[in-house]
Structure 1
Amino acid sequence: MQLHDFLGQVQHRAQMPDIDAALRASRATLETLAERLNGNEPAQLGAQLPRELREFLQRETAGSGERFDSSEFLKRVSEREGIDLPVAVYHARTVIEVLREAVSAGEINDVLAQLPDDYKRIFEAGTSGSMPSH
């Protein structure tokens, strides 16, 4: 998937006003995910993404395996994106939905294998329906 396709899907599904909003949401979500993952997993995930998105997975904190639950993940995405938590939750769900389509199922399974079970609600919610609570 090319960068403009990825961001276009995020923008369309989340009904964002412009591509810059989709880029901000993608950056906030991917950088936060990279902090939570261990070792080389962010690089392996990024290898299947366009270079511009791959860079978000390669920050200095990437692969640190910092331990935080899905609620903290969403709070950090909100802070990074600079928007209210409920909107950030929907944006993160959208970015992850597009991410799941952009990379192999095996890679998504590798990512999920490193995350506590409470992250599955974010990965499975997508853009339709409600997200189950913990």
Structure 2
Amino acid sequence: MRFPRFIDAVSRRSGLPPEQAATVARAVLQTMAERVSGGPADDLAGHLPDEVDGYLNRDTPGAAAGGSPTGPGEFLRRVGERAGVDDATARIGTGAVFATLREAVTVAEFREMVARLPRAGDGGVAPRPPSYDG
């Protein structure tokens, strides 16, 4: 999947304008890269669609300081901070990015990415991708 199609899908799923969807997508991918433990962001980038892996840059201005996010709330807070959006927009945009990634990579690749994300108190992965397929 090429980058413009990826962003169009995120925009459609989230209801965000394409420019904001791109900003949120970049924030989500960078926060995911930050979350990768024991391996470089390149490990994650190898599973992303063409051009999307270019958004995995830890040296982005405005990036949150400190180590990797420790939970779902912190993950969403960092996405919102990086993208300059409110909590609701960060949550909606993050769900749309995960739903689009689920479509763009193989099941095994998606499971590997999700396995590296923060866990909710109930053991579920959070932020949870939306339950719809469209």
Determine if contact 2:31/2:78 at 8 Å carries over to the other structure.
yes
1:89 and 2:72 are equivalent in the alignment: no
Distance in 1, Cα, partners of 2:38 & 2:96: 25
Task: Kindly report which structure 2 residues correspond to 1:1-134, keeping only aligned pairs within 5 A, or say none.
Answer: 1-17=1-17, 19-40=18-39, 42-47=41-46, 48-51=48-51, 53-59=52-58, 66-118=68-120, 120-123=125-128, 125-126=129-130
Residue identity matched to 2:89: V
| Gap change, CA 1:86 and 1:50, over 3 Å in 2 | same
Find the residue that maps to 2:88 and give its secondary structure: helix
Asked if the contact 1:93–1:127 (Cα under 8 Å) also holds between the matched residues in 2, the reply is: no
Contact 2:34 2:68 in 1 (8 A): yes
For residues 49-70 of structure 1, the C-alpha deviation after alignment (integer angstroms, 9 at most, x for no partner) is 222x212224359xxx725101
TM-score by structure 1 length? 0.78
Contact 1:14 1:127 in 2 (8 A): no
For the residues of structure 1 that align with 2:40 and 2:110, how far apart are their CA atoms? 10
TM-score, normalization by structure 2: 0.78
C-alpha change, 1:58 and 1:84, in structure 2 (3 Å) is closer
Looking at structure 1, the residues matched to 104 and 56 of structure 2 have their Cα atoms a distance apart, in angstroms, of 15
Q: Percent identity?
A: 32
Paired residue total: 123
Give unmatched runs, 5+ long, in structure 2. Answer: 61-66
